Every structure is written in structure tokens, then in C-alpha cells.
């Protein structure tokens, strides 16, 4: 084979507000690669199949030490197939999964490192392993099991309930016998929340969150994916000893908005606030049971999920913006290539 | 006996900033009482001995439902002696303790209610039962045992370390084998912190908290009595999975100051934030062991404490202001009467 295009998505500039496709990120078609002859030096060559676009991307664009590097391609959760290998433990045809998949069509990987060989349930697409069966689903699963201290009959409020984290939390909460209040940003998503079992589902753009929580609360658990005004409303309607699981605050990623009066509520109601982030959750404690149960339940319909798959690496910038604005309809995945 | 003065301290107006003695609270000498003949109607008559003045008084002046009532006397933690009784279980000469002691020289109590009969260690004054052996000491003890998850070798930062809560926390942390960083508002208090065993003690008015924490941290536990800038500094210097025990935020009680960027730190470092408030701590779990051990350790010097006793019910307003401004030298107690 002669050299072919090896397109990539570069992190080009730190955004001031929302990321701008073509400016914050640039789709670059200039690199080439010859998959048959590119030197592997003991490593292996992967072809990118699916890439996850997650809310944390905006944080990673802020210049923190965990973030994207200016002038380099983005990297994130993804699944790729091994097309050539000089690593004995990584056979051709196997799939690798992890948070370091570079947003480029082909990549030479010197060693497995943080990637893992992943087996897929036959009835699931790989994209599901970036959502309900991947990092977002695992974050929901581990955070809920470790920190919710959920008891049957309690009331939980879940924001961004139609997302891959929120929709898993709703279903775990229903399994545990809780009353679930869930919000999302459209009527269509509200229907999905009800299909997941949410007892109270509403569109936060047309229904006042405070009014709902005053009527249906107080809440014993708040799973926060958004921060901002929803968090304030949850604080105001929290029961004593309520647990606040702080998984995200996308409402503040693109502006300087701050949350006020937090500590008054934390102290007065003896709240318990836990930061929920994949990197610091007890993976060894929960991942074996997660993989033993969740993919099968997703495949047989016992657990529901949705995803919004966009075709083409050139669309990454648009999808990033959609995720930050919440205009995506479900967990956002970019399909880079078929196998 | 003919009627005698029964002075009291009235809550007169909601303060805008710091409470103003004589305006926020008014010392009122007009009521009279005849202790020998006042009808008890099955209740009992108590003579107030000592009253606690605590930081939360400012919150109780804010008009919340748990607060002081305008036009009525203040009430708070105190100890009183029973001088007449028609209640069989409450003998004359016994002492009652609780958070509902009215700031008045004599009070007729219809039933024990939230008060409890208290026995005193022979080598301690009753005032100690309002500080190290009372609500502040118990808050420290229960909060630390229940939520610190302390491990030997960890680093804890304690603000308002010379107060009755902070000084107990410092000593409990040293018993558990931690490195203790503690701050207070004067050089004299800094000396006291070192006498309690603090490894690093500093005057936050003359030494930069961030610089200390950057050098001596990161911190695994933060016991917060002050909020505001110290809290921000602690968040910035927290280790992953650090525990934040939010017991008070006096820096914000008298102004509109807000804490920002809280959620960024909570999430990124997977922090665990617990509201610590006496009313919602597990009393039944800890109070028996507290009373079985702590007063004796305070009496024999194994645990240290300080207090600043001011004589005279007419001084309550001044003491309230001193506590809010932090110009008191130690746990503030007002001595109303000798037995």
C-alpha cells in the first residue's frame, strides 16, 4: 500500500467561552501514513474506530496539566482495532480501549500503557463502550455504589438525566427503590427519562427546578452533572444529611459563573459532598462486577441507553460544541471508521 | 424574700454587619421576680450560673427559623442551678445544662425538655462544660471521629485553632498521629497552639496561609471554622480524597463574601466535604464515651483548654461582638452568678 491520508484533530487555541470549531480545534488532513510499512519498533499500529466526546473536554482545554496540548491532536476515550503488531501480547484484530486514544485515523502505539484489550458483547456496538458500558457508565456505577448511601424510599434528583452518566444513575436508583426526579433540556429527553423509570421528569428550560424540588422534595441525594443554578436549587431543597455527588458542572465550564452560599447549606444541613471523578474512583473494587453485569444488561434491554453517533473525524469540533451547549441528543460519539 | 431584679438580654434588632451592643441586643433590668413565691405550676426555678457565647449567635440573628426571636431574650448553651422545684425528678441543688438556657438571671422551667441534669467533675468549673467539655468539644469529638477518616502520618489543617472546637481537634489529631498545621489570630494564640502539640502554628494575620500550606501540605484533612480565604487556600492545597469538615465559616457571617471555585476542587480532587453541626451529629453513638473520658482528661491536664470568662449578664452584647470579631482570647463564657 502506498501512503494514505492520516487525518487528525488538533488543539489549536484555548477558547474564551464556548469552543469554536475550526479555531479551537482544527481538522488537519495533511499527515500521511503507510500502514504496511510504518516502523513499529516493537509496538503496534491501531486504526481508530470510535471516539468519545465528553463534557470534560472543555476543562481539558483550559490549560491545566491534565489537559490537551496546544498544537497536538486531541486524545480521549476511544476504541481502535489493531492492524499490525510487533507486540506479542497485542494480536492483530484485537481491540484496544482507553482514555489516551489520539484523535487521528491511525496511530503507532509503542506499548499498551493505559490502554486495555477489550472484548465486546456480541449484541453491542463498540460505541456503547464509550458510554453506558464505558467511562460514563462506570463513573455512574462506582460513584453511586460508593458514595450515594442510597436507601429505598429516599428521593434522588439527577440533572442531565438523558446523558450517559445521568441515565445510568436513574436506572441504578430505581433498582435501589428510590423516588427519582430527573431533568434534561428538551421534551424529547424528558420522554427518555420516563422510559428509564424516572418518577418525575422535566425540561429544565421550560419548568422551574426549584418549584419541582419544593413539590417533590426534599431530596436525600443529588447527582450533579451541571452545577450552577440547579445545584443551588438542590442545596435549597436538600434534606438533612443529604449526599451531593458532584460529578460535573458543565454550566460553569464556559463562563465565570460561581456558586454561592454553598457552605451555609453544607453546614446547616450536615450535607455530605463527594467529588466523583473516574480517575479517583475505586476501579479495582467495582470494574470486575461492572463488566460482568452491565454490558449484558445493556444488551438484553434490562438497562437502557441512548447515543448520538456522528460519522467522520472532521466532525469532532462540531460535536465538542454541541456537548458543551447541550444540543446533542444523547451520549456523543464520533464514528471514525468501520472495521 | 420580696421581689428582686431579674435582668435579661433581649434580641432587639437584626444587625446589618457586626452586632452592635445596646442596639442588636439590649440589657434589660426592668423585670422582677420573687424566687420564693413565683408560681412553678409543677415546674422548677433555675438560677443562671454561666452562659456560652458562640459564633453561631450571628447566624441565629439572621432571622432563620432556628434563630433568636426579636423582642425576646437570647437563649443558648448554659448551666443553671435548681433553686426551687415542684418536679420530683429535678431536685433543688441539681444543675441543668442545655442549649435552651434563657439569658436571664432566673427562669421558671415547666419541664426538663431539652435540658439535662449534669454532674460536674470536681476539678472542673461549670464554664468548662460550655467549652471543651460541652457543645464545642463534643462537636469536635464527634465530627473528628465520624468523618475525618484520619490515618497516622496524614496532614491536617485547623483554623481558629485556639477556639474550643479547634483546640480539641488539634489534640485529637495529635493523638491519632497526624501532622497538625494550625492557625489563629495572634502570636499569643500561636503559642497556645504549639502547647497543644501543633507541629506548625501561625498567625494568619501576619503569615500567608497559602505559603504555609504550599510548604507544609498538601493537606489530607481540613477542619474549617472560618470559611472565606482560608477555605480557598485549603482547597487549592488539598490532596486527592482529602476530607473537608465544614464546622463554621465565621468570616462570612458578617458580610456577603462568597467562596468561589469550590466545585472545581471538589470534583477534580475527589474531595469529601461534610457539614459538621451539633444538631445532626450522632449523639447517642459518642456522648457516653465523651463524658466518660474527656472531662477527666481535661481535669488531669492530659487535654488542655482555655476560656475567657467575663463577669456580668450586662456584658453579653460586648462578648457577642468580640466573638464575631475574633478579639476574644479563648472560648467566651459569661459568668452570670456564683452559686
How far is Cα A292 from Cα A98, in angstroms, rounded to an integer?
A: 18
Alpha-carbon gap: A19 to the closest alpha carbon of chain B (Å) = 19
* CB nearest to A267's CB, from B265, B269, B277: B277
DSSP H or E run through A59: helix A57-60
Interchain CB distance below 8 Å, A247 and B264: no
| Residue A26 main-chain phi, psi, to 5 deg | -130, 130
Using a cut of 0.90, tell me whether the model's pTM lies above it.
Answer: no
Alpha-carbon gap: A54 to the closest alpha carbon of chain B (Å) = 15
> Can you tell me the mean pLDDT for A193-197?
95
| Angle separating helix axes B209-216 and B228-236, nearest 10 degrees | 30
Q: How far does chain A reach from its first CA to its final CA, in angstroms? A: 18
CB of A58 closer than 8 Å to CB of A19:
yes
CB of A236 closer than 8 Å to CB of A210:
yes
Q: Which residues of B touch A (CB under 8 A)?
A: 227, 231, 240-241, 246-249, 252, 258-277, 279-281
Q: Long-range contact list for A62-67, CB < 8 A, 24+ apart?
A: A62/A14, A63/A14
Quote the pLDDT of residue A60. 87
Chain B residues in contact with A281 by the CB 8 A cut-off are 270
> Can you tell me the mean pLDDT for B103-128?
93
Alpha-carbon gap: A258 to the closest alpha carbon of chain B (Å) = 6
Higher pLDDT, B279 or B94: B94
Interchain CB distance below 8 Å, B268 and A246: no
DSSP H or E run through A324: helix A316-325
CB of A38 closer than 8 Å to CB of A45:
yes
B213-246 pLDDT, tens digit each: 999 999 999 999 888 889 889 988 999 899 999 8
> Can you tell me the mean pLDDT for B117-138?
92
Across the strands, what pairs with B274? A272, B245
Among chain A residues, CA nearest to B228 = A263
Q: Is pLDDT at B257 greater than 50 in this prediction?
A: no
Across the strands, what pairs with B322? none
Name residue, grid cell 473516574.
A278
Interchain CB distance below 8 Å, B249 and A263: yes
Percent of chain A with pLDDT over 90: 65
Q: Is A56 helix (H, G, I), strand (E, B) or coil?
A: coil
A62-96 pLDDT, tens digit each: 865 558 999 999 999 999 999 999 999 999 999 99
Q: Is A214 helix (H, G, I), strand (E, B) or coil?
A: helix
Alpha-carbon gap: B259 to the closest alpha carbon of chain A (Å) = 7
User: Quick one: pLDDT band at residue B259, thresholds 50, 70, 90?
Assistant: very low
Closest CA to B170 of A330, B162, A114, B260: B162
User: Quick one: pLDDT band at residue A271, thresholds 50, 70, 90?
Assistant: confident
Interchain CB distance below 8 Å, B275 and A277: no
Among chain A residues, CA nearest to B246 = A267
Q: What dihedral do alpha carbons B255, B257, B263, B265 form, nearest 10°?
A: -110
Interchain CB distance below 8 Å, A249 and B263: yes
Q: Is pLDDT at B262 greater than 80 in this prediction?
A: no
Chain A residues in contact with B227 by the CB 8 A cut-off are 263
Q: Which residues of A touch B (CB under 8 A)?
A: 227, 231, 240-241, 246-249, 252, 258-277, 279-281
A149-190 pLDDT, tens digit each: 999 999 999 999 998 899 999 999 999 999 999 999 999 999
Distances (CA, A) of A177 to A63, A169, A170: 42, 12, 11
Ramachandran region of residue B43, left (φ > 0), alpha (ψ -120 to 50) or beta?
Answer: beta
Chain A residues in contact with B149 by the CB 8 A cut-off are none
For chain B, give the mean pLDDT: 90
> Can you tell me the mean pLDDT for A290-316?
89
Interchain CB distance below 8 Å, A241 and B280: yes
Alpha-carbon gap: A35 to the closest alpha carbon of chain B (Å) = 38
| Residue A34 main-chain phi, psi, to 5 deg | -110, 105
Chain A residues in contact with B243 by the CB 8 A cut-off are none
DSSP A68: P
* CB nearest to A267's CB, from B249, B263, B271: B249
Among chain B residues, CA nearest to A255 = B261
3-class secondary structure per residue, chain B? CCCEECCEEEECCCCCCCCCECCCEEEECCCEECCCCCCCCCCEEEEEEEEECCCCHHHHCCCCCCCCCCCCECEEEEEEEEEEECCCCCCCCCEEEEEEEECECEEEECCCCCCEECCCCCCCCHHHHHCCCCHHHHHHHHHHHHHCCCCCCCEEEECCCCCHHHHHHHHHHHHCCCEEEEEECCHHHHHHHHHHCCCEEEECCCCCHHHHHHHHCCEEEEEECCCHHHHHHHHHCEEEEEEEEECCCHHHHCCCCCCCCHHHHHHHCCCEEEECCHHHCCHHHHHHHHHHHHHHHHHCCCCCCCEEEEECHHHHHHHHHHHHHCCCCCEEEEECCCC
Q: Is A315 helix (H, G, I), strand (E, B) or coil?
A: helix
- Contact partners, residue A288, CB within 8 Å, separation at least 6: none
Q: Is pLDDT at A333 greater than 80 in this prediction?
A: yes
Distances (CA, A) of B329 to A327, B68, B249, B310, B323: 57, 25, 18, 11, 9
User: Quick one: pLDDT band at residue A259, thresholds 50, 70, 90?
Assistant: very low
Q: Is A187 helix (H, G, I), strand (E, B) or coil?
A: helix
Which range among A212-221, B48-57, B199-208 shows the weakest confidence by mean pLDDT? Answer: B48-57
Give per-residue burial for B23-51: e unless 16+ CB within 10 Å, then b. ebbbbbeeeebebeeeeeeebbbbbbbbb
Interchain CB distance below 8 Å, A273 and B272: yes
Interchain CB distance below 8 Å, A270 and B281: yes
C-alpha cell at A211: 418549584
How far is Cα A136 from Cα A54, in angstroms, rounded to an integer?
A: 9
B195-206 pLDDT, tens digit each: 999 999 999 999
B53-105 pLDDT, tens digit each: 988 898 889 865 558 999 999 999 999 999 999 999 999 999 999 999 999 99
| Residue A84 main-chain phi, psi, to 5 deg | -150, 155
Pairing of strands A331-335, A307-311: parallel
For chain A, give the mean pLDDT: 90
Chain B residues in contact with A246 by the CB 8 A cut-off are 263, 266-267
Q: Is pLDDT at A276 greater than 90 in this prediction?
A: no
C-alpha cell at B228: 472565606
Alpha-carbon gap: B42 to the closest alpha carbon of chain A (Å) = 36
Across the strands, what pairs with B26? B10
Determine the residue among B55, B139, B266 to mutate to test chain A binding: the one whose Cβ has the most chain A Cβ atoms within 10 Å.
B266
Interchain CB distance below 8 Å, B271 and A274: yes
Interchain CB distance below 8 Å, A270 and B280: yes
C-alpha cell at A267: 453546614
Percent of chain A with pLDDT over 70: 94
- Contact partners, residue B293, CB within 8 Å, separation at least 6: none
Name residue, grid cell 489516551.
A100
Chain A residues in contact with B276 by the CB 8 A cut-off are 267, 270
A-to-B residue pairs, Cβ atoms closer than 8 angstroms: 90
Sign of CA dihedral B72, B74, B75, B80: negative
Interchain CB distance below 8 Å, A268 and B259: no
User: Quick one: pLDDT band at residue A113, thresholds 50, 70, 90?
Assistant: very high
How far is Cα A118 from Cα A130, in angstroms, rounded to an integer?
A: 12
Quote the pLDDT of residue B260. 46
* CB nearest to A246's CB, from B227, B263, B280: B263
Output the furthest CA–CA distance in chain A (Å, rounded): 68
Which range among A41-45, A146-150, A304-308, B23-27 shows the weakest confidence by mean pLDDT? Answer: A304-308
How far is Cα A143 from Cα B152, in angstroms, rounded to an integer?
A: 26
Give per-residue burial for A240-251: e unless 16+ CB within 10 Å, then b. eebbbbbbbbbb
Interchain CB distance below 8 Å, B263 and A261: no
The distance of Cα A58 from the centroid of its chain, to the nearest Å, equals 12
Give per-residue burial for B117-133: e unless 16+ CB within 10 Å, then b. ebebbeebbbbbbbbbb
* CB nearest to A260's CB, from B258, B274, B276: B258
> Can you tell me the mean pLDDT for A34-57?
95
Alpha-carbon gap: A43 to the closest alpha carbon of chain B (Å) = 33
Alpha-carbon gap: B170 to the closest alpha carbon of chain A (Å) = 20
Alpha-carbon gap: B227 to the closest alpha carbon of chain A (Å) = 8
Quote the pLDDT of residue B331. 85
Quote the pLDDT of residue B277. 78
Across the strands, what pairs with A202? A183
> Can you tell me the mean pLDDT for A255-268?
59
DSSP H or E run through A95: strand A95-102
Determine the residue among B273, B277, B282 to mutate to test chain A binding: the one whose Cβ has the most chain A Cβ atoms within 10 Å.
B273
- Contact partners, residue A198, CB within 8 Å, separation at least 6: A158, A161, A170, A174, A180, A181, A182
CB of B103 closer than 8 Å to CB of B74:
yes
Interchain CB distance below 8 Å, B241 and A280: yes
Amino acid at each position: 500500500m502506498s501512503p494514505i491520508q492520516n487525518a487528525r484533530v488538533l488543539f489549536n487555541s484555548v477558547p474564551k467561552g464556548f469552543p469554536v470549531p475550526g479555531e479551537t480545534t482544527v481538522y488537519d488532513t495533511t499527515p500521511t501514513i503507510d500502514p504496511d510499512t510504518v516502523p513499529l519498533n516493537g509496538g503496534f499500529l491501531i486504526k481508530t474506530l470510535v471516539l468519545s466526546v465528553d463534557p470534560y473536554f472543555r476543562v481539558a482545554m483550559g490549560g491545566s496539566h491534565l489537559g490537551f496540548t496546544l498544537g497536538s491532536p486531541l486524545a480521549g476515550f476511544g476504541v481502535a482495532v489493531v492492524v499490525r503488531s510487533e507486540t506479542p501480547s497485542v494480536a492483530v484484530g484485537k481491540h484496544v480501549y482507553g482514555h489516551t486514544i489520539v484523535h487521528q485515523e491511525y496511530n503507532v502505539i509503542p506499548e499498551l500503557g493505559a490502554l486495555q484489550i477489550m472484548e465486546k458483547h456480541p449484541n453491542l456496538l463498540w460505541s456503547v463502550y464509550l458510554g453506558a458500558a464505558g467511562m460514563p457508565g462506570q463513573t455512574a456505577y462506582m460513584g453511586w455504589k460508593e458514595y450515594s448511601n442510597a436507601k429505598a424510599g429516599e428521593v434522588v434528583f439527577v440533572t442531565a438525566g438523558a446523558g450517559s452518566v445521568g441515565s445510568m444513575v436513574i436506572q441504578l436508583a430505581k433498582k435501589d427503590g428510590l423516588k427519582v426526579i430527573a431533568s434534561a433540556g428538551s421534551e424529547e429527553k424528558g420522554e427518555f427519562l420516563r422510559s428509564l423509570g424516572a418518577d418525575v421528569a422535566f425540561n429544565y428550560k421550560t419548568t422551574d427546578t426549584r418549584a419541582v424540588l419544593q413539590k417533590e422534595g426534599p431530596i436525600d441525594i443529588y447527582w450533579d452533572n451541571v452545577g450552577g443554578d440547579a445545584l443551588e436549587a438542590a442545596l435549597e431543597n436538600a434534606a438533612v444529611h443529604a449526599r451531593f455527588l458532584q460529578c460535573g458542572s458543565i454550566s460553569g465550564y464556559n463562563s465565570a459563573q460561581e456558586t454561592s452560599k454553598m457552605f451555609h447549606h453544607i453546614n446547616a444541613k450536615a450535607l455530605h459532598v463527594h467529588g466523583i471523578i473516574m480517575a479517583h474512583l475505586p476501579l479495582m473494587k467495582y470494574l470486575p462486577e461492572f463488566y460482568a453485569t452491565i454490558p449484558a444488561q445493556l444488551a438484553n434491554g434490562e438497562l437502557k441507553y441512548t447515543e448520538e453517533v456522528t460519522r467522520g473525524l472532521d466532525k469532532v469540533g462540531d460535536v465538542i460544541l454541541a456537548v458543551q451547549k447541550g444540543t446533542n441528543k444523547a451520549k456523543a460519539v464520533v464514528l471514525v471508521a468501520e472495521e
